[in-house]
């Protein structure tokens, strides 16, 4: 009789250990005492956050609209992702950021020149 009681106790403990996490996940924890951290919220799908940052940015020179960097002249604005973009200054104080591409160094510059000549 003791052997049977010991065997039932062992089996119930093993079943509880095996399925406890399963039932917690399926039924929302059921008072298991574990608190799951909240997932971060996605940013809104409008420009409210950007406009708020722009309004809080102070610059007595030129505030770059895409990076919110404060520079002396618009063509001095940095690219948002300098590790992945090459910056090219165009005429009349403008600049563009072009994705670094290809397998050869300077390929982005070559494509910008082809576009300037109307060949691309």
41-80 confidence digits (pLDDT tens): 887 788 998 999 999 999 999 999 999 999 999 989 999 9
Q: Which residues in the chain belong to E strands, given as ranges?
A: 62-63, 70-71, 85-89, 95-99
Residue 34 pLDDT > 90: no
Residues 6+ apart with CB under 8 A from 29: 36
Residue 89 belongs to some domain of the structure: yes
Residue 57 belongs to some domain of the structure: yes
Residue 60 belongs to some domain of the structure: yes
> Among 5-19, 24-38, 63-77, 102-116, which is the least confidently predicted range?
5-19
pTM of the predicted structure, to 2 decimals: 0.56
Q: Tell me what the pLDDT averaged over the chain comes to.
A: 78
Residues 6+ apart with CB under 8 A from 79: 67, 85, 86, 87, 97
Residue 14: CB atoms within 10 Å: 10
Higher pLDDT, 58 or 17: 58
Which pLDDT does position 21 carry in this prediction?
A: 54
Number of domains in the chain: 1
Residue 107 belongs to some domain of the structure: yes
Q: Which domain holds residue 58?
A: 50-116
Higher pLDDT, 91 or 72: 72
Residue 38 belongs to some domain of the structure: no
d(CA 8, CA 68): 68
């Amino acid at each position: 009789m003791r052997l049977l009681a010991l065997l039932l106790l062992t089996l119930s403990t093993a079943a509880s250990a095996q399925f406890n996490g399963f039932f917690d996940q399926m039924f929302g924890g059921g008072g298991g005492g574990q608190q799951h951290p909240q997932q971060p919220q996605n940013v809104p799908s409008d420009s409210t956050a950007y406009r708020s940052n722009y309004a809080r940015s102070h610059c007595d020179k030129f505030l770059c609209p895409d990076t919110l960097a404060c520079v002396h002249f618009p063509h001095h604005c940095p690219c948002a992702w300098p590790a992945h973009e090459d910056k090219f200054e165009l005429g009349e104080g403008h600049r563009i950021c072009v994705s670094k591409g290809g397998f050869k160094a300077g390929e982005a510059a070559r494509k910008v020149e082809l576009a300037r000549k109307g060949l691309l």
